[in-house]
Amino acid sequence: MMSKNVEKKYFAGIDIGASATKAVIIDEAKKIVGSHVCRSGADLAGSAQAAYDEALKQAGLKAGDVGLLAATGFGRNNFPAAHCTITEISCHSLGSFHYFPKAITIIDIGGQDNKLIHVDQNGCIMNFKMNRKCAAGTGAFLEEVAYKMDIPLEKLNGLARQSTQDVSLGSFCTVFTGTEILTKIREGKKKEDIIRGAFCSVARRIIEMDPLIGAVVLTGGVVAHNNILAEILGSVINKKVLVPPSPQLIGALGAALLVSAKKKQK
């Protein structure tokens, strides 16, 4: 179901995720002209509208200037203003391929789930996997770590960078890891080392999902706020991990690119 209003020069994508809602507006040259990230909260439609309004404001545009708007993410069906919906699997592929147009393995680490997507040299999805019904290795896991250690979430990255000793967290599940962290604290391990251990645990969960073939691209909110993860994952898989600009916006960008491409097909 697409709008007939396809002459306009701007396109929008809204990624309504489990933790954060992201809005991106692009122009005809596929350049991001406005974006915004906010918490998704309980009012998904309200959050999507707020993110969209802020992105429009940043771009100096009005809703009427945008030709087509696509919604993606967990709450994609909750935004009545969207002209179409598409899954975040497709959107992350489109967004990542936009920056790295070659065969890539995309790892998206979101608040609630992880996705691993293999894309071929033409940008087509070969296959994909999502984590099981378990938050281990996701943003929710890091939130739990921060909560258990009474450390603000935004400080995790900086503290992990001060680590001097490896602390391995072996548990397979978020709840058990929480208990394990308490044990490490009791053993007198430094918080910096424990936090780095938590990031290493996230990297290990990723490599269990599927083989990481070709160039590896890391996207999502977790790497956006914790760039140390790309370095840790790179050292685990022994290759450089690519991170696109604004990795948290890749899903929303993919959605905007989708509707922009649809316009061209008309």
Partner 1 sequence: MPEVKASKPPKIKAAAKMKQIMSDHFYELDKAMKSKTQKIAWCTSVGPAELLRSMGFLVYFPENHGAILGATRQATDFIPIANSIGYSPEICSYLTSDVGAYLKKKTPLSQVYPGIESVPKPDILVFNTNQCRDVQDWFSFYAREFKVPIIGIETHRGVGEVQAAHIKSVADQMQGLVPKLEEISGQKFDLGELKRVVGLSLECSQLWRKVLETASAVPSPINFFDGTIHMGPAVVMRGTQVAVDYYKELLAELEERVKNKVAAVAGEKHRLYWDGMPIWGKLRPMAELFNSLNTCVVASTYCNSWIFDDFDPGDPFNSMARAYVQLFIVRSDEAKEKYIEDMVKKFKLDGIIFHDCKTCPNNTNARYGMPQRLQKRFGIPNIVVAGDLNDLRCYSEEQTKTVIEAFVEQLNK
**Of 125 and 151, which has the nearer Cβ to partner 1?**
125
E-assigned strand segments in 17-99: 20-26, 32-39, 66-72, 84-85
Question: Tokens standing for 18?
Answer: 């489990």
Q: Which residues bind partner 1 (CB under 8 A)?
A: 1, 71, 74, 77, 79-90, 113, 124-125, 127-130, 132-133
**Of 112 and 165, which has the nearer Cβ to partner 1?**
112
For the bound state, the minimum distance from the C-beta of residue 231 to partner 1, rounded and expressed in Å, comes to: 29
For the bound state, the minimum distance from the C-beta of residue 60 to partner 1, rounded and expressed in Å, comes to: 26
Collapse the DSSP code of 68 into the 3-class scheme (helix H, G, I; strand E, B; otherwise coil) and give the result: strand
Interatomic CA distance for residues 37 and 157, integer angstroms = 19
The percent helix, strand, coil of the chain (3-state, each to 5) is 45, 20, 35
**Of 73 and 197, which has the nearer Cβ to partner 1?**
73
Interatomic CA distance for residues 130 and 144, integer angstroms = 20
19 contacts 95 by C-beta, under 8 angstroms = no
Burial (CB count within 10 angstroms: exposed 0-12, middle 13-18, buried 19+), residue 147? exposed
For the bound state, the minimum distance from the C-beta of residue 214 to partner 1, rounded and expressed in Å, comes to: 17
For the bound state, the minimum distance from the C-beta of residue 1 to partner 1, rounded and expressed in Å, comes to: 7
Interatomic CA distance for residues 39 and 221, integer angstroms = 11
For the bound state, the minimum distance from the C-beta of residue 213 to partner 1, rounded and expressed in Å, comes to: 12
**Of 128 and 141, which has the nearer Cβ to partner 1?**
128
**Of 86 and 181, which has the nearer Cβ to partner 1?**
86
**Of 11 and 79, which has the nearer Cβ to partner 1?**
79
For the bound state, the minimum distance from the C-beta of residue 194 to partner 1, rounded and expressed in Å, comes to: 29
Which amino acid would we find at residue 64? G
| Residue carrying structure tokens 């945008």 | 66
